[in-house]
Structure 1
Amino acid sequence: MKVVLFVIIIFFIFAGYFTGTLFSGNPDKVAEVEGAEITNAQIQQRVDNVRRQMGDQFEQQYATEASQQLLRQQIKEQLISEQVLRANLTKAGLTASEQQIKAWAREFPAFQIGGVYSADQAKMILAQQGWSEERFRQFARQQIAQEQLEQGVGASNFALNFEVEAYYQLQEQTRDVGYVRVAREAFSDSVDVSDSEVKEYYEQNQTQFEQPEMVNLRYVRLSLTELSQDLMADVSNEQITSFYEQNKANYQDPAEILVAHILIDSSVEDAQSKAQSLLSDIEQGADFAELAKEHSSDTFSGENGGQLDWVDAVPTSDDNPTGTGWVPEFEAAALALENVGDVTDLVESQFGYHIIKLVDKKAADVSPLENVQDEIRQQLALEQAQKIFFEKQAILNEKLFEYGDDLEKFAEQVELEIQETGLFSKDSATGIADNPVFLEKAFSASILESTEVSDMIELSQDDIVYLTVKDYQPSQVQPLEEVKQIVVDTLKEEKIAEATKAYAEQVLAELEAGGSAEQLLATKELSWTESEALKARGSSVQFDLSNAIFALQPPKEGEVIRAVEPLFNGDYAVIEVQAVQYPDPSTMDEATRKQIAQRLANVNAQAELQGLMKTFREKSEISE
């Protein structure tokens, strides 16, 4: 499930619909496309989305300023491309109706469970992304317009009969061939490498044996997570009980309500009259859920009988600024309902006219101590750890000048352990050294050229280190004795490949001279194979050998084509193509003809779409 959600999340982040209208204020403009601004605020919002979805991994992958700038540049280019497409779709008059959006949402894979649309799944996905229904409608509208463009391009592309028939003949051709596969293993014991060859190769390929610079660092680390874990065992049951009693309100689940509603959007003609008519039908016994499904402008809740999610029955206030999350008029009316089944009068909001029904409710409930004691223990340990963390951080920064030349005394000031990374390069870093910030600092001039303890380095907001160099090895060529076996193995591989190819070419030469090459093949316990009407697909011939056979040009009438071809695993093949038979296109069944025609049309359409996008960008007014 996590993998599925991750794929869905990534789809929303990078295929999402973000327009200038979704942002307020006056952010700095970084680009403009056809009069629509691309702003730093838009870029930052998408960066924040990436950060939220990646969690701790974001800080690891984008830990340095350079990596964050690259991400922002990539997002900027993406926003420009999206706006280019959006502007040109608008120019082309491509849009979507409400019915198309509703149908598209029902087919959207992220909103389906087992291939069937689920309103609850749709709500969950939108909530995870922080998307309103309106934002999704905008997204869907653009996707539908883009699909219309693709369908239009696809509809204008087709394959001519001669193209279909030529493709069919190439695909279904058969060949009369002879071949032998010369395995490289047959020569593995027949090659030797001398010391002089090893020395010569080593001297001519010094860069292959260059060892990157390496460093061994001593460091002290102050980590809030480690402090908190160490303090967990010190939190007593008495402290937990006392904290629980003093903060019991924090462990109380507030009363909850579940409501359904019917919305008639303000844009609907005679919206108030229509809403009033529906309310009258409900008062006369009509099924609320069926009316919601048929008439509500709220597409997603309508599919579920108008039902919304459970919410805390707590009104918006200074102490609870989020409240139910509903607009004030809706919230006040919904919270005023007392009995399950009660229905409000018409409620007017900025969205239109609502009819609200109380579907269910739950009384407030206090979580027992045993259910929350682990959470309290962690909280108390964390609070104490935070206090200690900031105290020690302040001491370290204060004492850095005094003990900056002595890591032992520096660490003693706050009773921290001195740790060591061991020698590592930029490519072999593990553990803490693999942290991008740590790795970047480890090989910086400020660290390598100093004997002092470094300034504070923030691996994250609550994880800091101070470094000093214990050992440094500059980039150097490894001695021959350390890499001799690598050289020997490399030369053997080259000689085996050369011997395999040379042998295959000997076989080819004998065939070209009119011989059978049987005696030569026998020396390696090989035999020549003849195959008539060999097919490119579905034959018993190995895939790489079959590809080599059908990659050769067909011979002229009465001639043969012979060649030595390298294969995927380092073997060589000696191939003789004697004849090629092409099927009669008139024997092609209609299903195959349609399949090939569609395949060729799709290829043509994709090429045309790529060209169209390039043209869109070239002809759009873009300023940066």
Structure 2
Amino acid sequence: MLDKMREGSQGIAAKIILIVIILSFALAGVSGYLGGGNASVAITVNGDEISNASVEQEYKNERSRLQQQYGEQFDIIAASPGFVKQVRAQAKQTLISNLLIAQSIADMDLRIGDEQVKDAIRKMPEFQVKGEFNNEQYLSTLRRASYTPAKFSQSIKQDLVRRQLLNTLVSSEFILPIEIDNVDKLQAQQRVARILNISGRAFPQTTPISIKDIQAYYDQHEQNFQSLQQVSVDYVLLDAHKLSQKTVISDVQAQAYYDDHQVDYQRVERRKVAHILVQGHSADALKKAQTILLALEKGADFSVLARAKSEDILSAKNDGALDWFEHGVMDEQFDKASFALTAKAPLSDIVKSTFGYHIIKLLDIQQKQTLPFAQVKATVMKTLKKENADERYYDLQQQLREVAFEAPDSLDEAAGVVNTQIQHIALFSRDNVPALLDDPALLNLLFDIDFREEGLNSDVFELSDKRSIVVRVSNFKEAATESLDKVSDTIKSQLSEQNSRAKAHDFTLQVLEKLNKGESVEALLQDKSLQFSKALTLSRYSREVNPQVVQKVFTLAKPQADKVTRDWVSTNDTGDTGFAIIELSKVLDTKSATTMPALKEQLGAMLVRGGSEATYQAWIMQLMQNADIKHTLEK
């Protein structure tokens, strides 16, 4: 039960409810699933149409997600019988669910304002630079995803109103304290057990694997011996960094730029202060600080008191002096007090910061000043070169975009625009992607059957903010089954492992049967140099034992007094191709997380999320059952 709840806490609905909908979901295209125009209709849901084109697009989206998820294994999975039918069915299910939710939203007249949409977009980390929204980053990211700002805003609005509905649906979900306590106790429970690990290595293959067996295995598992799809690529690369390297800036240009941007080359006002710190915020700490301030006001030497009284050990060694600092660097109250000091009034009152109480003395001021051109010339040259290169980059990028579209049958004109050569990358598969092309979206494009068969240039694809590429597939090699000769040794190894595992399995059942009958297994275990472990006290999160063993331990029935509960489990997930026999002897109800409120709070939240997911799934099922769904076009 607990494992199910842990799985539930990571479910799709829980993430929708509790996490801001991520950019990739928005870019997957939740908008536009309603059919229209003369498009052939695939499905009608309560009278609303879903076009065949929408099904095809969602099928491609789902296929792309699977490609990204499974990487090099995707070709093998895609070759399995029924793959296309299964993915298409999932695509239809997604569109139907989305449309049912959209219809519910319309029925409830739920709305999201434009300002809410703007605020949500500004908060997306994908569009931020150093924690702040960056419009250039925003537009660049949308261009790479082939989205216009209007289309993206509309998709976000749909997502937000969808989330508003889901929050309304599950916001009443709650869990009783007694339920939390019960699960809490189960989570904290410990169990005492002995473990007998039985490895397949203890049962080595002793007879040769026959050619007939190898051939039979090859015939039955042919899909496992496929080489991956491969493509070779021609491309034209536009790189802002290389443009910057070729850009030449004269001294005259640099001077003119400096003259127009002197505000950017100013050294802000800086302060140098000394301080005496009394740590903490207690009444005693304040009283101590007040005593020190009174002594200073009566003429005591600041440096002497700083060395003797300050609890900032490092600065105390330097008479309390700190390094130069600008406005906004220090603790807010310390900063405010430091920049309020003047030459005529250099001593502060008591200043309370997050560290404690300070008394601050002004030592020196560096006034704000414009730095001379000679001092910042190198920086000016670098900035101007970058700006010129960026301007040139965006100009060439637009030209490249136009040429790639207007002359799609060749990269010659695209290379001419950028004044570079067409580059070539030889055949590669998804498991050995060149670094330049190692972008999931770009790879999905290169291995997309429609793009490949069209044989045209791609649109400009932005690899980063300052690198763009136009690609075309120059050659394609289909996934193919490896010859038997090439995979014969691999098959021998797999068959040998299978045989060893089968023997280990039979041995495991034999030992378990004898134990349950009360018979001795000492001779059997000695023959294989095996023995039970000592009694282990295990929690649900024990890491020193195979996780499948731990999981099995906590599914066994509580043993009767002076008895044990036995069972076996496969440990194949560890690569050991083996098994384990478990003898559970005790169940210990240990101290729970009751004394740790934060952990119980997390547990309660997890249970609520699990309940929320169940509510969401039940609601979707109800919508499906009550809906009039007609598949008018099956493919």
**Interval containing the TM-score (normalised by the shorter chain):** 0.5 to 0.7
The alignment partner of 2:111 has SS state of strand
How far off is 1:487 after superposition?
A: 3.1
Alpha carbons of structure 1 residues 49 and 310: separation in structure 2 relative to 1, 3 Å:
farther
Alpha carbons of structure 1 residues 71 and 547: separation in structure 2 relative to 1, 3 Å:
farther
**The one of 142, 145, 158 aligned to 1:64:** 145
Q: Which amino acid aligns with 1:434?
A: D
Which residue does 1:420 correspond to in 2? Answer: 424
Q: Which amino acid aligns with 2:581?
A: V
**The one of 490, 493, 514 aligned to 2:494:** 490
Which residue does 2:580 correspond to in 1? Answer: 573
**The one of 235, 242, 251 aligned to 1:219:** 235
Q: Distance in 1 between the 2:588 and 2:269 partners? A: 74
Which residue does 2:221 correspond to in 1? Answer: 205
Alpha carbons of structure 1 residues 191 and 45: separation in structure 2 relative to 1, 3 Å:
farther
1:474 aligns to 2:490 (yes or no): no
Q: Distance in 2 between the 1:388 and 1:593 partners? A: 62
Q: Distance in 1 between the 2:219 and 2:482 partners? A: 11
Tell me if structure 2 keeps the 8 A contact 1:447–1:467: no
Tell me if structure 2 keeps the 8 A contact 1:253–1:365: yes
The alignment partner of 2:426 has SS state of coil
The alignment partner of 1:201 has SS state of helix
Which residue does 1:516 correspond to in 2? Answer: 520
Which residue does 1:171 correspond to in 2? Answer: 189
1:253 aligns to 2:266 (yes or no): yes
How far off is 1:34 after superposition?
A: 8.2
Q: Distance in 2 between the 1:526 and 1:451 partners? A: 62
Tell me if structure 2 keeps the 8 A contact 1:85–1:613: no
The alignment partner of 2:419 has SS state of coil
Q: Distance in 2 between the 1:406 and 1:602 partners? A: 58
Tell me if structure 2 keeps the 8 A contact 1:191–1:496: no
Residue correspondence of structure 1 range 197-596 to structure 2 within 5 A: 197-231=213-247, 234-235=248-249, 238-239=251-252, 242-243=255-256, 246-247=259-260, 249-253=262-266, 363-369=367-373, 371-386=375-390, 388-389=392-393, 407=411, 411=415, 415-426=419-430, 428-436=432-440, 438-444=442-448, 447-450=451-454, 456-457=460-461, 463-512=467-516, 514-527=518-531, 535-536=537-538, 542=545, 548-549=552-553, 551-556=555-560, 561-567=565-571, 569=574, 570=576, 571-576=578-583, 580=586, 595=595
**The one of 162, 174, 177 aligned to 1:157:** 177
Alpha carbons of structure 1 residues 78 and 480: separation in structure 2 relative to 1, 3 Å:
farther
How far off is 1:378 after superposition?
A: 2.5
Q: Distance in 1 between the 2:184 and 2:408 partners? A: 80
How far off is 1:244 after superposition?
A: 5.4
Q: Distance in 2 between the 1:172 and 1:593 partners? A: 13
Q: Distance in 2 between the 1:310 and 1:32 partners? A: 58
Q: Distance in 1 between the 2:264 and 2:605 partners? A: 59
Q: Distance in 2 between the 1:45 and 1:160 partners? A: 36
Q: Which amino acid aligns with 1:429?
A: V
Alpha-carbon displacement from aligned partner over 1:423-469 (angstroms, at most 9, x marks no partner): 23456533232235543442455642355655655556764433333
Q: Distance in 1 between the 2:543 and 2:388 partners? A: 71
Alpha carbons of structure 1 residues 308 and 402: separation in structure 2 relative to 1, 3 Å:
same
Q: Distance in 2 between the 1:398 and 1:81 partners? A: 39
Q: Distance in 2 between the 1:539 and 1:88 partners? A: 34
How far off is 1:410 after superposition?
A: 6.1
Residue correspondence of structure 1 range 92-107 to structure 2 within 5 A: none
Q: Distance in 2 between the 1:401 and 1:35 partners? A: 42
The alignment partner of 1:421 has SS state of strand
Alpha carbons of structure 1 residues 559 and 39: separation in structure 2 relative to 1, 3 Å:
same
Quick check: 496-505 or 33-42, which moved more?
33-42
Which residue does 2:36 correspond to in 1? Answer: none
Which residue does 1:53 correspond to in 2? Answer: 128
Tell me if structure 2 keeps the 8 A contact 1:252–1:364: no
Q: Which amino acid aligns with 1:37?
A: R
The alignment partner of 2:144 has SS state of coil
Q: Distance in 2 between the 1:247 and 1:187 partners? A: 82
Tell me if structure 2 keeps the 8 A contact 1:536–1:547: no
The alignment partner of 2:123 has SS state of helix
Alpha-carbon displacement from aligned partner over 1:586-621 (angstroms, at most 9, x marks no partner): xx9xx76954999779756753576579879999xx
How far off is 1:416 after superposition?
A: 0.4
Aligned length: 436
Which residue does 2:322 correspond to in 1? Answer: none
Q: Which amino acid aligns with 1:171?
A: Q
Alpha carbons of structure 1 residues 419 and 188: separation in structure 2 relative to 1, 3 Å:
farther
How far off is 1:555 after superposition?
A: 4.4
Tell me if structure 2 keeps the 8 A contact 1:218–1:470: yes
Q: Which amino acid aligns with 1:157?
A: P
Alpha-carbon displacement from aligned partner over 1:227-284 (angstroms, at most 9, x marks no partner): 11343xx445x346534554362444387799xxxxxxxxxxxxxxxxxxxxxxxxxx
TM-score of the superposed pair, with normalisation by structure 2: 0.52
Quick check: 220-229 or 399-408, which moved more?
399-408
Alpha-carbon displacement from aligned partner over 1:67-110 (angstroms, at most 9, x marks no partner): 99899867854565468769999xxxxxxxxxxxxxxxxxxxxx
Tell me if structure 2 keeps the 8 A contact 1:186–1:524: yes
Q: Distance in 1 between the 2:600 and 2:387 partners? A: 65
Identity %: 20
Q: Distance in 1 between the 2:461 and 2:543 partners? A: 62
How far off is 1:43 after superposition?
A: 3.0
Which residue does 2:607 correspond to in 1? Answer: 607
The alignment partner of 1:38 has SS state of coil
Q: Distance in 2 between the 1:613 and 1:592 partners? A: 26
How far off is 1:366 after superposition?
A: 1.0
How far off is 1:535 after superposition?
A: 3.7
Q: Distance in 1 between the 2:543 and 2:609 partners? A: 39
For the aligned residue pairs, the C-alpha RMSD in angstroms reads 5.9
Alpha-carbon displacement from aligned partner over 1:94-148 (angstroms, at most 9, x marks no partner): xxxxxxxxxxxxxxxxxxxxxxxxxxxxxxxxxxxxxxxxxxxxxxxxxxxxxxx
Tell me if structure 1 keeps the 8 A contact 2:127–2:141: no
Quick check: 473-482 or 360-369, which moved more?
360-369
Alpha-carbon displacement from aligned partner over 1:315-364 (angstroms, at most 9, x marks no partner): xxxxxxxxxxxxxxxxxxx9xxx9999xxxxxxxxxxxxxxxxxx99744
Tell me if structure 2 keeps the 8 A contact 1:215–1:472: yes
Residue correspondence of structure 1 range 12-31 to structure 2 within 5 A: none
Alpha-carbon displacement from aligned partner over 1:35-70 (angstroms, at most 9, x marks no partner): 873145533432333233267998679932489989
Which residue does 1:316 correspond to in 2? Answer: none
Which residue does 2:117 correspond to in 1? Answer: 43
Q: Distance in 2 between the 1:74 and 1:165 partners? A: 39
How far off is 1:203 after superposition?
A: 1.9
Tell me if structure 2 keeps the 8 A contact 1:85–1:616: no
Q: Which amino acid aligns with 2:579?
A: Y
How far off is 1:219 after superposition?
A: 1.4
Q: Distance in 2 between the 1:88 and 1:574 partners? A: 43
Q: Which amino acid aligns with 1:48?
A: R
Which residue does 2:210 correspond to in 1? Answer: 194
Q: Distance in 2 between the 1:194 and 1:396 partners? A: 60
Tell me if structure 2 keeps the 8 A contact 1:34–1:87: no
